[in-house]
Amino acid sequence: MDHLTDHQHIIILGGGISGLSLAWKLCESGREVTVIERSGFVGGLAGTQSDNGHHLDFGPHSFFSGDQEVLKTVLDLFDDTLSPGQRELKFYYRGKYLNYPLTPGDVLVQMGLVNGMRAGLSLLLGKIGSMTKRSIAAPEDMTVEDWALENFGKHLYSSFFKPYTEQFWELPCRELSIDTIPAHTRTNFINTLKVLLPARQAARDGDSLIEREQLPTYYPPTGFGEIACRIADKVREAGGKILLDSTACEVLLNSNRPVLVRYRCGGNTESLECTRLVSTIPLPLFVDLLRPWAPADVLASAASLQFRALLVLGMVTERKNVLEGSYMYVLDRPYSRISEMNKFSPGTSPPSDNIIAVEIPCFEGSPTWNASREEIFQMCAENLAHDGILLPGDVKKLLLVKAPYAYPVYRKDYAPHLKKVLAHVRSHPQLDTMGRSGEFLYLDADMCMRRAFDLATQLLKS
């Protein structure tokens, strides 16, 4: 690994929350840092797009963290003006609003007594089965189907878990690795559904991870992207450079010379040298930039690492208090989640307006991805009206944000491919890759910041 000096220049590809957090800590310590970001705004998936006073996130979400250093860092950005709240999450199931996490009342009453009893029996049988026999698959080979059947039994799997998972990923559960479900979500989901089991067992299975779901949340006045914007301000104040609308097109490696990064900006191709390059852009894209080219088997493995894209359609309306919570998950609809932006913050719209946002997972290049905002609205309008959420006449304006690399797709054979690609990148002492897209790793914003802070510490000590 190269030894850093006070005169080193670090280039970071990607101005999302990971890249900005890393740049901030390095700049604070006097390092020369340049961030290259292909879009015209910072934040990436943690960003917010604005249009004449309307602010729409790439999937509305609040900030929360059990990491006190990260939490304090974010709150300090706002001079402690952010007020804590609790997430108001519902699950819209067969025409009913269920609380999330589920309660015994939801299972036995709101889901219907017969269906609730079947769900409870399925859950208990699944639990007994998992205790009396060994797992049907080795941990590294376990699929979402294997895991769900072991933990929930056939009824809950087929009526609840399987349809939502396959709706979201457009892939059979038997083709998806268990890593598709983030560890904290996986354990929390087990516990929220295992409401009929003794409390002692539930606590033993992951009480601390449920506590994460109950942490106070914080949301900036005009969108989650304010966090990234304020970090970007800190980077610039400390002397760092952030190049927007700039796309890296080639990374030239030479062990005896600095790394040369070529990028396009405003129709021109520019070049910068650096002693260290950190990528937070999607891992397959980064590998394709490297020169000399990566070996053919590495390129093939990189090409197999697929991402799920995300469309967020914002519908501006004058209606208020449309949803029972700030957001809700849904089954059997063209969208997987609905959010009400005013319940995150009234500042996301002018005083007379509100935004109802629907999230539509898809694949880049699919007909859904290529559809116009009007076409996407027509896809959703019938269900929105049927569920009593919005009528077409309630909508006065449409907003659309698109993220081509929103979710890593963990197919059941992804792990060896990822290992091979990361090994190749890390074989170059001048390179690092980090973050949700850069590591092909599902991370929340606070986790991205923690990994960025830790990498900054490592680089500064090298």
311 lies in the same domain as 241 = no
Domain final position from 213, 241, 276:
213
pLDDT tens figures, 297-316: 999 999 999 999 999 999 99
The number of domains in the chain is 3
Beta pairing, strands 89-93 & 327-330 = parallel
CATH of the domain at 352: 3.90.660.20
Residue 420 inside a domain? The answer is yes
Residue 122 inside a domain? The answer is yes
284 lies in the same domain as 420 = yes
Residue 84 inside a domain? The answer is no
Of 58, 3, 122, 50, which is closest to residue 357 (Cα–Cα)?
58
187 lies in the same domain as 239 = no
User: Which residues are registered as beta bridge partners of 253?
Assistant: none
Residue 393 inside a domain? The answer is yes
Quick one: pLDDT at residue 153?
A: 76
d(CA 414, CA 421): 11
234 lies in the same domain as 369 = no
d(CA 8, CA 26): 11
Q: What Rg, from alpha-carbon coordinates, does the chain have?
A: 23
Residue 64 inside a domain? The answer is no
User: 8 CB contacts (<8 Å, ≥6 apart)?
Assistant: 31, 32, 274, 275, 276
Query: What percent of the chain lies above the pLDDT cut of 70?
Result: 83
Q: Which domain holds residue 109?
A: 99-213
Residues 373, 37, 361, 326: is their CA dihedral positive or negative?
negative
Write down how long the chain is: 462
Quick one: pLDDT at residue 462?
A: 79
Quick one: pLDDT at residue 201?
A: 34
402 lies in the same domain as 426 = no
336 lies in the same domain as 358 = yes
324 lies in the same domain as 284 = no
Q: With beta carbons less than 8 A apart as the criterion, state whether 217 and 84 touch.
A: yes
Quick one: pLDDT at residue 106?
A: 58
Residue 381 inside a domain? The answer is yes
376 lies in the same domain as 451 = no
Domain final position from 179, 213, 247:
213
Residue 330 inside a domain? The answer is yes
Residue 283 structure tokens: 């891992």
Q: With beta carbons less than 8 A apart as the criterion, state whether 122 and 155 touch.
A: yes
pLDDT tens figures, 396-416: 999 999 999 999 999 999 999
Instruction: Compute how many other C-beta atoms are within 10 angstroms of the C-beta atom of residue 80.
Output: 9
Domain final position from 181, 213, 245:
213
Q: With beta carbons less than 8 A apart as the criterion, state whether 309 and 403 touch.
A: yes
Long-range contact pairs involving 439-442 (C-beta distance under 8 Å, separation at least 24): 439/283, 440/282, 440/283, 440/305, 440/408, 440/414, 441/408, 442/179, 442/182, 442/407, 442/408
Residue 422 inside a domain? The answer is yes
User: Which residues are registered as beta bridge partners of 12?
Assistant: 35, 278
287 lies in the same domain as 429 = yes
320 lies in the same domain as 335 = yes
CATH of the domain at 35: 3.50.50.60
| SS3 assignment for the chain | CCCCCCCCEEEEECCEHHHHHHHHHHHHCCCEEEEECCCCCCEHHHCEEEECCEEEECCCCCECCCCHHHHHHHHHHCCCCCCCECCCEEEEECCEEEECCCCHHHHHHHCCHHHHHHHHHHHHHHHHHHHHCCCCCCHHHCEHHHHHHHHHHHHHHHHHHHHHHHHHHCCCHHHEEHHHCCHHHHHHHHHHHCCCCCHHHHHHCCHHHHHHHCCCEECCCCCCHHHHHHHHHHHHHCCCEEECCEEEEEEECCCCCCEEEEEEECCEEEEEEECEEEECCCHHHHHHHEECCCCHHHHHHHHHCCEEEEEEEEEEECCCCCCCCCEEEECCCCCCEEEEHHHHCHHHCCCCCEEEEEEEEECCCCHHHHCCHHHHHHHHHHHHHHCCCCCHHHEEEEEEEEEEEEEECCECCHHHHHHHHHHHHHCCCCEEECHHHHCCCCCCHHHHHHHHHHHHHHHHHC
Triad 77, 81, 83: Cα angle to 5°: 115
201 lies in the same domain as 136 = yes
| Phi, psi (degrees; rounded to nearest 5) at 320 | -120, 160
Quick one: pLDDT at residue 132?
A: 54
105 lies in the same domain as 209 = yes
Task: Write out the chain's pLDDT in tens, 462 residues.
Answer: 344 444 689 999 999 999 999 999 999 999 999 999 999 999 999 999 999 999 999 988 899 999 999 999 999 999 999 999 887 788 777 777 777 655 555 555 556 656 666 666 666 665 566 555 555 555 678 999 988 888 777 877 887 788 888 999 999 999 999 998 766 555 444 444 443 333 333 333 333 444 556 789 999 999 999 999 999 999 999 999 999 999 999 999 987 899 999 999 999 999 999 999 999 999 999 999 999 999 999 999 999 999 999 999 999 999 999 998 898 988 889 999 999 999 999 999 999 999 999 999 999 999 999 999 999 999 999 999 999 999 999 999 999 999 999 999 999 999 999 999 999 999 999 999 999 999 999 999 999 999 999 999 999 997
| pTM recorded for the entire structure | 0.89
